[in-house]
């Protein structure tokens, strides 16, 4: 294998071996464990090439840096707006919507690369705890009157 393909392969493996949809910085850190002298520019260049070749997916996240997905199968993303984690959803959001889109516009949907922005269950729990905490405090204050 040439040096170039060794670099590209190492980057590809790093992305394929995680489900965390990492950003460039994380990928760079991981690849350097195998190829310590690789440059950030090389990582960027290879990410672009791999995405163009369809070996990885590039994810545009609103308000955040690009993330990468080693899973190129047809799936959707649930993005937590609080902790920034990205979860995979292997389920069509609503198969009927594709028929509706076709009826209305004549457009035939082949793949859904949909992003759903929200709160993950961990962050919801945290928000609940915070609410309970504020609620309890207000009770204590109310009791002081
Ligand atoms: Zn979260
Ligand atoms: Zn994914």
pLDDT 10s digits, 102-117? 999 999 988 777 788 9
Q: What is the pTM of this model?
A: 0.76
Residue 65 lies in a domain: no
* DSSP reduced 3-state for 129: helix
Q: Residue 41's domain spans which residues?
A: 1-58
Q: What's the gap in Å between 32 CA and the centre of ligand 1?
A: 28
In a domain, 42, yes or no: yes
The number of domains in the chain is: 1
Does 34 reside within a domain? yes
Whole-number Å distance, alpha carbon 129 to ligand 1 midpoint, is: 14
Distance (angstroms) between ligand 2 centre and the Cα of 105 equals: 28
pLDDT for res 77? 92
Residue 21 sits in a domain whose CATH number is 1.10.10.10
Name which of 71, 80, 82 is nearest 21 in CA terms.
71
Ligand 1 midpoint to CA 26 (Å):
18
- Tokens found for residue 49: 């090439």
Give per-residue pLDDT as tens, 9-57. Answer: 999 999 999 999 999 999 999 999 999 999 999 999 999 999 999 999 9
Q: How many angstroms separate the alpha carbon of residue 114 from the centre of ligand 1?
A: 18
| pLDDT confidence band for 143 (50 / 70 / 90) | very low
> Is 45 exposed, middle or buried (CB count within 10 Å of its CB: 0-12, 13-18, 19+)?
middle
């Amino acid at each position: 294998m040439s040096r170039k393909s060794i670099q590209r392969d190492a980057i590809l493996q790093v992305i394929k071996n995680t489900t965390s949809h990492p950003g460039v910085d994380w990928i760079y850190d991981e690849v350097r464990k195998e190829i310590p002298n690789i440059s950030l520019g090389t990582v960027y260049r290879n990410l672009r090439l791999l995405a163009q070749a369809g070996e990885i997916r590039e994810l545009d996240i609103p308000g955040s840096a690009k993330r990468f997905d080693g899973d190129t199968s047809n799936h959707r993303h649930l993005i937590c707006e609080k902790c920034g984690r990205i979860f995979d959803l292997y389920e069509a959001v609503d198969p009927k919507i594709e028929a509706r889109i076709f009826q209305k516009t004549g457009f035939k949907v082949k793949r859904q690369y949909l992003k759903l922005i929200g709160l993950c269950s961990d962050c919801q729990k945290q928000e609940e705890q915070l609410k309970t905490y504020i609620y309890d405090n207000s009770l204590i204050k109310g009791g002081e009157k």
